[in-house]
Amino acid sequence: MASRRATRPPPPAGRPRSASQPRFGTYIRKVREHLRKTDARFSLRQVAQRIFVQPAYLSQVERGNVAPPSEATTRRLAQDLREDPDVLLALAGKISEDLQEVIRRRPKLLAELLRSLRTAPTHAILRVVREVRDGKW
């Protein structure tokens, strides 16, 4: 689907929260229904088709009757619904493969880092994210 719209950037400020199965379904249904109000392509059937799952399965996911889908399907769903994939994966109670790999490389150090950031405010966490260095120009 050709679109002028740029791929969705990460939100400037911090975003959610803990993950749970019904929450994932409720959230994606809310987002999909919101998009469907202005665009019929966001019907359950059409979204399911685009992310390569059966409509009945997507319906079950939205109702929280089955576990959230695989990482690959969740990523396709995030792209289709213009959502952040990391946020949807977190709501699904999953950690993406690339993040798992990051943790596996330095498990002790990263576990300590994450625990120490647990209650830190957003601006403090942002200081840990690597800044783009400005130089002379």
Partner 1 sequence: MVTLEGDHLVFRFPDVHEEAGLAVTFQRTLRIPDDDRQYPLPPGLGAFPLRHIDDYRSRLPKAWVERGGVLMPMHQAEAMWISFRGDYPMAVTVATGKVNAITGSPLTRGLHRRPQDYLVTPDQPWLDGFCVEKGVIRQFVAMPLGDGYSVEEQLSRTAEHGGLQLIVRPLKAAAYRRLRRKQGDISRRSADDGIWLCQMDMGLAPGGRMRQEVYEDPFESADWAPKHMSRCFITIVNTALWSPMTGETPPSVPPTASDYTKAGLPWFEYYNPGAVALPGSDKLAKVKSVKAMSESKGVSALPENQSVDVQRKTKILALRPRRVREGRR
Footprint of partner 1 on this chain (CB under 8 A)?
Answer: 2-13, 38-39, 122-123, 126-127, 129-137
Closer to partner 1 by CB, 61 or 76: give it.
76
Q: What's the min distance (Å) between Cβ of 72 and partner 1?
A: 18
Closer to partner 1 by CB, 6 or 101: give it.
6
Closer to partner 1 by CB, 37 or 115: give it.
37
Give me Rg for the CA atoms of the chain: 18
Nearest to 61, CA basis, from 86, 41, 81: 81
Is the Cβ–Cβ distance between 91 and 117 less than 8 Å?
no
Closer to partner 1 by CB, 65 or 122: give it.
122
Structure tokens at 133: 């260095």
Q: What's the min distance (Å) between Cβ of 97 and partner 1?
A: 15
Q: What's the min distance (Å) between Cβ of 20 and partner 1?
A: 26
Q: What's the min distance (Å) between Cβ of 31 and partner 1?
A: 14
Cα separation, 62 vs 90, whole angstroms: 16
User: What sign has the CA pseudo-torsion 126, 130, 135, 137?
Assistant: negative
What single letter denotes the amino acid at residue 116? S
